[in-house]
Structure 1
Amino acid sequence: MSELPEFYFRVRENGAAVYRVDTENRQRRIEMTEIAVINIKNGKVKPHGSHVLTPSENQAIARWMADREALLARRDLDDIHRTVDHLNLTAQWAQSRASDADLDDVTDRLLMAMHDLRSVLVRKKADRLMKGQPGADQRGE
């Protein structure tokens, strides 16, 4: 059996529960003792019960949080690239296969979502362009 990690991170919706992994017991069973809960959204680490986190535990948790945040950022961007593909597939579907009833079912919601997205993208692009111009800091934002 390969060597087990010192810590196990059970992913939760907003972070993870952190466990210390122990196999150094009489039965040689894997024991996992919860030591903390992480909230990745606000960066808080809450020790479990009366446990006091050691410097090595804090380092392992900080390393996991940085790795997790990087992974989630990569996934977010990948989801956006997939959305672009889905928009293209949706256009093809609407043009070639959708029935009038199908189009009646989705057109208004798609148009509103696309209008909202376009508004956000145009505003954000304008903001980025203004940052590169002298006096952009004086816009009051």
Structure 2
Amino acid sequence: MSDLPEYYFRVRENGAFVFRVDTENRQRRIDMDQIAVVNIRNGQVKPHGDRELSDADMQAIEDWMHDRAELLAWRDIDDIHRAVDYLNTTAHWAQSKASDEQLEAVTDALLLAMHDLRTVLVRKKADRMLAHTRTDAD
């Protein structure tokens, strides 16, 4: 059981519950002692109960928060790449497989969502181009 990590992070929506893993006990069982609650959105670390977190505890928590933020950022962009694939698949479906009834059921929702997305993308691209033009002028 010595292969187990020293800390376990039970992921929740805004962060995690942090446990210290103990396998060095008489019963040779895995004990998990909650030591903190982490909120990844605001970076807050709250010790559990009356605990004081050690430097090693804080370092492990900070490392996890950094790694978790990177993973979530990667997942966000991966989801967007998947959305592009879904749009392509949807276009193929609409052109080659969809019945009139199916198209009637989804066309308005798709058109509104695509219009909204296009509006946001065009505005954001214009903002970036404007900022880039200002930077070049300086």
Calculate the TM-score normalised by the size of structure 1: 0.91
CA distance in 2, matches of 1:3, 1:92: 49
**1:45 to 2:39 alignment:** no
TM superposition shift of 1:24? 1.6
Runs of 4 or more above 4 Å deviation: none
Structure 1 segment 41-120 matched on structure 2, within 5 A:
41-120=41-120
Match of 1:125 in 2: 125
- Residues 2, 23 of structure 2: 8 Å contact kept: no
CA offsets 1:3-40 (integer angstroms, 9 cap, x no match) = 22110011112111100011121111110000111111
- Structure 1 Cα separation of the partners of residues 61 and 130 of structure 2: 39
One-letter amino acid matched to 1:83: A
* Distance across 2 between alignment mates of 1:5 and 1:82: 33
Which runs of no fewer than 5 residues in structure 2 stay unpaired? none
SS of corresponding position for 1:3: coil
The equivalent of 1:139 in structure 2 is none
Which amino acid in structure 2 is aligned with residue 51 of structure 1?
A: R
Q: What amino acid is aligned across from residue 119 of structure 1 in structure 2? A: T
Cα distance in 2 for partners of 1:75, 1:14 equals 15
Shift of 1:135: 7.7
Q: How many residue pairs get matched?
A: 136
- The answer to whether the aligner puts 1:14 opposite 2:14 as a matched pair is yes
* Aligned-pair Cα RMSD in Å: 1.4
- The alignment-based identity, stated in percent, is 67
- Sort the Cα spacing of 1:25 and 1:98 in 2 relative to 1 into closer, same or farther, 3 A: same
